[in-house]
Chain A
Amino acid sequence: MSSKNERLRDEILKRSGVNPKKCMRCGKCSATCPAYDEMEYHPHQFVSMVENGDIEPLINSKGIYRCLSCFACVDRCPRGVEPAKLVEAVRLEVIRKQGANHLTADGVEAFLDGEIPQQAIVSALRKYSK
């Protein structure tokens, strides 16, 4: 593993608090994930890829914005690995970079249909921008 990848892996593991070594590769997390079809890499792959320092592909995947933060993968993992925390940690790695906001105030405007609750807007802004 290159030292850059090693640094990135350590950072993601620290930020998430996840221990990927607990994973037994059963795939339950991915089987239950409601965003499965829209993620190039599925929850169990986040676990193994982060462990191997193979993080660049995750950073460039659209799946990090499609995770619903539903915590199904957290509750239904038999080993308490909590893959959603890795998705969150990788997404933050991206949106914390200057100019890397995935959603802007202008982008929000398209969704203002008079009914959308504030909760949706503040949540999306928190997930997609800094």
Chain B
Amino acid sequence: MLRKRTKMMKVSYFPGCTLKNKAVQLDIYARKCAEALGVSLEEIENWQCCGGVFSTAKDEIATKLSSVRALKEAKEKNRPLVTVCSACHNVIKQTNHAMSTDAEFAGKVNRYMAEDTDYAGETEVMHYLEMLRDLVGFDKIKEKVVKPLTGKKIAAYYGCLLLRPNSVMKMDNPENPRIIEDLIRALGAEPVMYANRNECCGGYVIMESPSLAEKKSQAVVENAKSAGAEIITTACPLCRYNLLKNGADIPVIYFTELLAQALGLKEDTDEQ
């Protein structure tokens, strides 16, 4: 019997500068997998770098305009705005929250932009993982798995940016998240639980105090390994860099690569 052909869902997509360069694996497999799962990622036109970190200062206006422009374009197309890089997601979601909750700040931004229509945080900002969970569904993903990652022990590394501040990010329980573990299970592998999965890798401070980043990253890797991890997976290019730079001796790969392997869209090469 012919299966009913479901219509492709369209979402706006903000790739960000790192995904166009050092983290191409995060981007290309995000696109391929989305396509296979019935979601079409429509890249925002002329997007600009999000800046990497959100400034919580209420008088930082100019640094937030690139996020507001992307949010506005998604609003005009009446679509959620999906990001896959943890940092872009954090910046754009926090900016959106400020636009919808801080009228003084939003007023300044709108005056600065001086466009016909104002923006007040209407767009839904979604991380790719939330898209998998809430738009596609982990059950549906499980059905589409052709090469289950059976027997692999995988540690989900959340870091900070996906989860905090929780009052804004609202992705999952920030102290006991499960979204990546649920994905790992859907792909047929075994998630490894460990305490440091939501602790910081050191982030950009690697450029200020490499020894601090080294300590934080090594603690994550050691903790994951002692819990039995053979692979660490992340959504953040900087987490990946810090873990590998500071001596991770097991593969650290993007969750989109695991997804692509299980969906039969990528060879399992375990390359680094």
Contact = CB atoms under 8 A, between A and B. Distances in A.
Interface of A: 14-17, 34-35, 38, 65-66, 68-72, 74-75, 82, 84-85, 88-89, 92, 102-103, 107-108, 111, 113, 115-124, 126-128
Nearest to A84: B56
A71 B58 CA distance: 17
B53 A115 contact: no
Interface stretch (B106-114, B121-129, B160-168): B160-168
B59 to A, nearest CB: 5
Question: For the side of the interface on B, what is the size category?
Answer: 35 or more
Task: Give the interface SS of chain A, mostly helix, strand, loop or mixed.
Answer: helix
Contact of A119 (B60, B166, B237): B237
Interface of B: 16-18, 21-23, 49, 51-53, 55-60, 63, 85, 87, 160, 163-166, 174, 199-200, 202-209, 212, 216, 236-238, 240-241, 244-245
Given A65-B205, A74-B165, 15 more contacts: A16-B58, A34-B199, A34-B200, A71-B165, A72-B199, A72-B200, A82-B165, A85-B56, A88-B57, A89-B56, A117-B238, A118-B17, A120-B206, A122-B49, A126-B51
Task: Give the interface SS of chain B, mostly helix, strand, loop or mixed.
Answer: loop
Nearest to A108: B207
A34 B87 CA distance: 19
A119 B245 contact: no
B58 A119 contact: no
A111 B55 contact: no
A89 B216 contact: no
B92 to A, nearest CB: 14
A68 B18 contact: no
Given A74-B165, A88-B55, A117 B22 contact: yes
Contact of A92 (B55, B204, B237, B245): B55
A72 B21 CA distance: 30
A115 B241 contact: yes
B164 A126 contact: no
Contact of A68 (B17, B57, B174, B205): B205
